[in-house]
């Protein structure tokens, strides 16, 4: 098999060499040279030289051919180096590069599959609670508590939103549509969607955003991100009568959105890891409702949209989540930093 592959690769070369010898003999013949013995001697010597060259080439390439024709038993076989010639060595270098790309893609695929599986397992376990509560409410005699039922339905809806976002995050680019969005309108819509959450926890939103702030973003994806910030802010504010401040400022031609709560804050030891997948931390264990995916998804979305997400917190005093929207048009539309500062103070 090795020799057959070698012959297939060099048959054109042998034919070309034979044609060259015959062509040279033809020139000598046309020039009047009629010595047959010299012609035969030249042909024999040329043939021997060609065969010697091919034999040495075959011996040099034998291990490389054997590698190509053998059945690989593991992917690491691609990393073996058997090439002797510069061409073979370059081919192996190219194959090693392809192997590394393949390895990275496979690792990313396995990581995504494991993330989806782990998230679904946690999500299903979490969704049992609102379903069980709703079932108990329906089993009560007389009229059931509609307010409590609505709260459980809201929890189910938030859970469904999270699992849908997690499923679509891998195909984010196919579903992304960047447009100019009025920030205050977007935030107000998200706050309105979560009004029952504010009412239930007796926490009040304070919005201080100038209407002239226009940001380039995807409204649908950003709505989930802001909703996640608000949900966390309310969920980890255990005292009644506290506020969640949502404000925007202008920094060097860029809009900075801040969501600040007066909750329990994040322990300093947990702060560097809060945006990692499935990390719940000390606060998540207190509530028992955290999947550890909310801030991870928010960070992934902001990164894909080109926004910068940052979290600062002090235990016992609250948390500030900020998103920096780059290349905004607020300054071009007449909003200055001084104007915005005045607006916040008045708000």
Q: Quote the pLDDT of residue 330.
A: 39
Exposure on the CB side of residue 173, measured as CA atoms within 13 A: 0
Query: Residue 127 corresponds to which tokens in the numbers above?
Result: 């969704």
Output the pLDDT for position 327. Answer: 57
Q: Taking a C-beta distance cutoff of 8 angstroms, is the pair 119, 163 a contact?
A: yes
Exposed, middle or buried: residue 331 (CB in 10 Å: 0-12, 13-18, 19+)? Answer: middle
Whose tokens are 């392809």? That residue is 98
Angle between helices 219-235 and 294-305 (to 10 degrees): 150
- At 238-276, the pLDDT tens digits run 889 999 999 999 888 889 999 999 999 988 888 888 888
Residue 344: its pLDDT value, please?
Answer: 35
Give one DSSP letter per residue of 79-138, joined into a string. G-----SHHHHHHHHHHHHHHHHHHHHHHHHHHHHHHHHHHHHHHHHHHHHHHHHHHHHH
Q: What is the pLDDT of residue 322?
A: 94
Predicted local distance difference test score (pLDDT) of residue 1: 64
Report the predicted TM-score, pTM, of the whole model to 2 decimal places. Answer: 0.61
The residues of the chain scoring below 50 in pLDDT are 328-347
| Structure confidence at residue 337 (pLDDT) | 41
Exposed, middle or buried, 165 (CB in 10 Å: 0-12/13-18/19+)?
Answer: buried
Report the alpha-carbon distance of residue 294 to residue 229 in Å, rounded: 9
């Amino acid at each position: 098999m090795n020799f057959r592959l070698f012959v297939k690769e060099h048959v054109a070369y042998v034919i070309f060499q034979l044609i060259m010898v015959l062509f040279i003999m033809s020139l000598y013949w046309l020039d009047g040279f009629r010595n047959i013995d010299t012609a035969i001697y030249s042909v024999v010597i040329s043939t021997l030289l060609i065969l010697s060259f091919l034999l040495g080439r075959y011996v040099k390439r034998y291990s490389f051919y054997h590698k190509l024709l053998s059945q690989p038993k593991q992917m690491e076989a691609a990393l073996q180096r058997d090439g002797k010639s510069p061409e073979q060595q370059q081919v192996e270098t190219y194959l090693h590069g392809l192997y590394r790309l393949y390895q990275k893609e496979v690792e990313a695929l396995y990581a995504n599959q494991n993330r989806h599986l782990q998230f679904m397992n946690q999500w299903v376990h979490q969704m049992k609670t609102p379903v069980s509560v709703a079932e108990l409410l329906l089993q009560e005699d007389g009229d059931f508590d509609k307010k409590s039922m609505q709260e459980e339905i809201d929890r189910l809806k938030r859970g469904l939103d999270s699992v849908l976002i997690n499923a679509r995050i891998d195909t984010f680019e196919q579903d992304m549509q960047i447009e100019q969005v009025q920030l205050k309108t977007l935030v107000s819509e998200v706050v309105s969607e979560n009004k029952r959450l504010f009412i239930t926890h007796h926490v009040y939103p304070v919005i201080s955003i100038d209407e002239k702030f226009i940001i380039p973003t995807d409204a649908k994806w950003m709505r989930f991100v802001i909703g996640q910030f608000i949900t966390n802010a309310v969920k980890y504010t255990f005292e009644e009568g506290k506020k969640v401040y949502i404000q925007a400022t202008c920094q060097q031609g860029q809009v900075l959105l801040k969501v600040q709560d007066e909750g329990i804050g994040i322990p300093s030891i947990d702060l560097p890891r809060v945006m990692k997948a499935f990390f719940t931390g000390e606060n998540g264990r207190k509530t028992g409702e955290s999947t550890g995916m909310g801030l991870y998804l928010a960070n992934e979305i902001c990164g894909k949209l080109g926004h910068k997400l940052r979290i600062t917190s002090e235990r016992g005093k609250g948390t500030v989540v900020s998103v920096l929207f780059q290349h905004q048009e607020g300054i071009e539309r007449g909003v200055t930093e001084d104007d915005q500062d005045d607006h916040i103070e008045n708000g």
